[in-house]
Structure 1
């Protein structure tokens, strides 16, 4: 299993990358769509590395809605009229 310090570093790195991806999405940068999609996948796949955890109902609910929001943003950027803004962005 990976050490605790490595897990904290991975979690912090994913948070920074998420913020960069969302800033790019706000500015309609084409690279941001790929970065957000990759980060969402890597973030989900890294969850088992964190080990056992207990969440309150509110934490679980917020995590669920955050995941739905990520999926909605990714889907809208690829499959709605917004994709045209990303294709024109440099």
Structure 2
């Protein structure tokens, strides 16, 4: 169970890095800059704030995943917080254009996030996060 849990976390960190890099490399056709004209249209907040906030949330996710590898209790809460803030920010950030690669990767990342949160709270791994170090799962 621990190996699966840590493998899922490693996969998530890798996926975040790939998505972060691919957003600048993966093309939108012959005119990649045309897709960026849509980003932030009808948004409740300015495009520059959207970009900065998403980068902060990327950092929160990576911090949470690193904490989860070491079974830190605060990391579980941070992961839930980052997921909720991501959902709120996504819903108020207006129109955005994504490639099929980005959509597919994000879809699977959401599923894996749910698995990580479920494993950390509702399985025997929950004992690894407790302050008392007795009855640890190996």
**TM-score, structure 1 length as denominator?**
0.90
* Number of residue-to-residue matches in the alignment: 90
**Equivalent in the alignment of 1:47:** 90
**Equivalent in the alignment of 2:62:** 19
Asked whether the equivalents of residues 7 and 49 of structure 1 are also in contact (C-alpha less than 8 Å), the reply is no
Q: How big is the shift at 1:59?
A: 2.0
5+ residue gaps in structure 2? 1-43, 134-138
Question: Which structure has the highest helix share of the two?
Answer: 1
Q: How big is the shift at 1:89?
A: 6.8
5+ residue gaps in structure 1? none
Structure 1: 4+ residue segments shifted above 3 A: none
Question: Alpha carbons of 1:20 and 1:3: their partners in 2 closer, same or farther (altered >3 Å)?
Answer: same
**TM-score, structure 2 length as denominator?**
0.61
Question: Alpha carbons of 1:89 and 1:35: their partners in 2 closer, same or farther (altered >3 Å)?
Answer: farther
Residue 6 in structure 1 maps to residue 25 in structure 2? no
Q: How big is the shift at 1:78?
A: 0.1
